Amino acid sequence: MPGKEAQGWVASLLPDGQHAAMAEPTPPWYDDLPASLAEAWALLVRGAADRKHPFHTPAVATIGADGGPHVRTVVLRGASPPARRLRFHTDARSAKATELRARPRIAVHAYDPGGKIQLRLAGTATLHTNDDVANAAWKATKPLSRACYRVATAPGSHASDPVAALAEIGDGDEAGRAAFIAVTVTVVRMEWLYLAAAGHRRALFDWSSGSLRANWLVP
């Protein structure tokens, strides 16, 4: 086995891609479908708990009244692997809520540039207003976040100036509760992509038939 100095000399003679592949060890889930799925959910759980993690702010796409896709960033508030469920919050008066009431199909996209992992998820959204899910989510919501729901007019409405746009309906802690919605997404399809110098890995996990079907895809 050559020493570190000899290994470095050999690596320096290789093309850049091969050099990077030698220097980058593959993770334990690299060629393992079940382990890749477990890692995907672990990252989503971490994203919901850690506001500094890239998965904390995924993008969601809904179907607008015009039939086209509408994309925006949300804050991931919860992730449950056993239930295949994600949770974020929104305003009951928002276009997003209106679109999901009409068409509950939703897509979610998350990317971690450091980990070089992308997730594309498709599922069905459920809007919770006065049930246990919404009540528990509201109870856990911090005062600063609650203030967003006290705004007097619907998100996206025209305003005469920036200050008027923030006019509130009241200053009590519960003033915005009626406008608060917890949205849960039941994932029916997940596409996993890991970018690696040794070779990318892409996989599809599909529950649309009632049971999990998993297979590798061409990256």
The pLDDT of residue 158 is 73
Residue 191 predicted with pLDDT over 60:
yes
pTM for the full predicted model:
0.85
Residue 17 predicted with pLDDT over 60:
no
- What end-to-end distance do the CA atoms of the chain give, in Å? 34
pLDDT band at 164 (very low <50, low <70, confident <90, very high): low
According to CATH, the superfamily of the domain at 15-137+176-217 is Electron Transport, Fmn-binding Protein; Chain A (2.30.110.10)
**φ, ψ dihedrals at 82, nearest 5°:** -60, -35
Residue 169 predicted with pLDDT over 80:
no
The whole-angstrom separation of Cα 213 and Cα 199 is 23
Provide DSSP, 50-103: -TTSGGGS-EEEEE-TTSSEEEEE----EEETTTTEEEEEEETTSHHHHHHHH-
Mean pLDDT of 200-204: 98
Mean pLDDT of 173-187: 93
Per residue in 83-133, pLDDT tens?
A: 999 999 999 999 999 999 999 999 999 999 999 999 999 999 999 999 999
Mean pLDDT of 188-202: 97
Residue 204 predicted with pLDDT over 90:
yes
The pLDDT of residue 166 is 62
The whole-angstrom separation of Cα 213 and Cα 56 is 27
The pLDDT of residue 7 is 35
